Amino acid sequence: MRVALVACLLAAAPLGAAGKPKKVLFVGIDGCRYDAVQYSQAKHLKELAAGGAVSERCDVLGARKTGADTSTGPGWSAALTGAWADKHRVLDNTFKNHNLSDYPTFLARYKQARPAARVAAFVTWAPFRDHVFDRSAWCEFVLDGDKMGYEVGDKCVAHSAAKGLANTDLDAAFVYFGNTDSAGHGYGFHPKAPKYTNSIEAVDEYVGLVLKAVRGRKTYANEDWLVIVCTDHGGKGRGHSLGEKEPEIRTGFLILHGPSVVAGAIKEQTQNVDVAVTALAHLGVPVKPEWRLDGRAVGLKK
């Protein structure tokens, strides 16, 4: 087990219309098909969807050719930065010659805008540590799921995230779970693959644990939390690479939940790049034209 934990100081949260500080919890579930969520007994994810805004067809690749594979690196880089792969240059899981310095995550953008805010990332995929997140900027809890196993890693991350969210005045957090992707590779990415849906149900319990921590905060009643849940790609058979022409692979989902959300189906086409921009919009950080982002804010009240 490898753990990296560094000081996390980052900008006082902006106030919403009701005078409540706005905060973001972004939950990423790797390789999770939404039809499998619906088929499963994932009660917490279903409750978030039922009471929030939902897009069941969130494109993970975008309309233009970028050269990106339908894999973890490009998928999460798009969701976290708001830009497609022809800009951040994460084309696969090697991160070779990437350009993330010019396209930082929404957490880094928030840090730049509000240097006193507190944010954190809790993840089980080592490349997040090595390439995506600037560890000098926030609190990072990293477990190497490839070495220790994602089933164990997800459990550790869930408990660490719950503790951090319950006991720390965090303004924004990214919590990542990877075992659904491992289960898909091992047993098939399909609603009728029992061990795949079982993995979704296990992650759902961890989502419930994290939500309980947020809702149990002493200050929760006076906070405006936006909960975001999405995936980086789907899957077909036991894989998801080269999935540009496979709807089961290139179609993800997006769930938004909280008092600032317009509940119901999101009618317009959504994309993974919308996630970072939506988070920034909720946090009160205007997107500057020179950032050249591809996403737009979706599902939020005007």
- CATH number for the domain spanning 81: value is 3.40.720.10
Mean pLDDT within 246-268:
98
At 6 the pLDDT is 28
Give me the DSSP letters along 58-103: EESS-SS-----SSHHHHHHHHHHS--HHHH---STT-TT--TTTS
Nearest alpha carbon to residue 251 among 297, 189, 199, 204: 189
Give φ, ψ of 246 to 5 degrees. Answer: -115, 105
Using the predicted structure, report yes or no on whether residue 88 has a pLDDT greater than 50.
Answer: yes
> In terms of residues, how long is the chain?
302
Q: Which residue has the tokens 């119901």?
A: 264
* pLDDT above 90 (res 232): yes
Residue 136 pLDDT grade (very low, low, confident, very high; cuts 50, 70, 90): low
* 13: pLDDT strictly greater than 50: no
Q: How far apart are CA 287 and CA 295, in angstroms?
A: 10
The pLDDT value given to residue 9 = 30
Q: What is the pLDDT of residue 138?
A: 67
> How sure is the predictor about 19, in pLDDT bands with cuts at 50, 70 and 90?
confident
Q: Is residue 6 part of a domain?
A: no
Asked whether residue 148 is domain-assigned, the answer is yes
Tens of pLDDT, residue by residue over 156-168, are 999 999 999 999 9
Backbone angles phi, psi at 214, to 5 degrees: -65, -50
Whether the per-residue pLDDT at 8 is higher than 80: the answer is no
Confirm whether 299 is domain-assigned: no
pLDDT averaged over every residue in the chain: 92
Q: What is the mean pLDDT of residues 236-263?
A: 98
First to last CA, the chain: 44
When divided into structural domains, the chain yields a total of 1
**In this predicted structure, what is the pLDDT of residue 201?**
98
pLDDT at 5 over 90: no
pTM of the model: 0.93
pLDDT reported for residue 141 = 79
Q: Name the pLDDT band for 95 (thresholds 50, 70, 90).
A: very high
Choose between 16 and 5: higher pLDDT: 16
Max CA-CA distance within the chain?
Answer: 49
Give a yes or no: residue 296 inside a domain.
no
The H or E element that residue 290 is part of is none
* 93 domain residue, yes or no: yes
pLDDT at 146: 87
- On whether residue 12 sits in a domain, the answer given is no
* % of the chain at pLDDT higher than 90: 87
- Of 256, 274, 270, 269, give the one whose Cα is nearest residue 53: 256
Q: Is 196 part of a structural domain of the chain?
A: yes
Weakest-pLDDT range from 138-147, 239-248, 254-263: 138-147
pLDDT at residue 154 is higher than 50? yes
Provide the pLDDT for residue 134. 74
Does any domain span residue 15? no
- Residue of higher predicted confidence among 87 and 143: 87
Query: Domain range holding 105?
Result: 22-291
The two beta strands, 119-123 and 172-177, are: parallel
Q: Average pLDDT for residues 79-94, to the nearest whole number?
A: 98
Average pLDDT over residues 219-240: 98
**pLDDT digits over 165-194, tens only?**
999 999 999 999 999 999 999 999 999 999
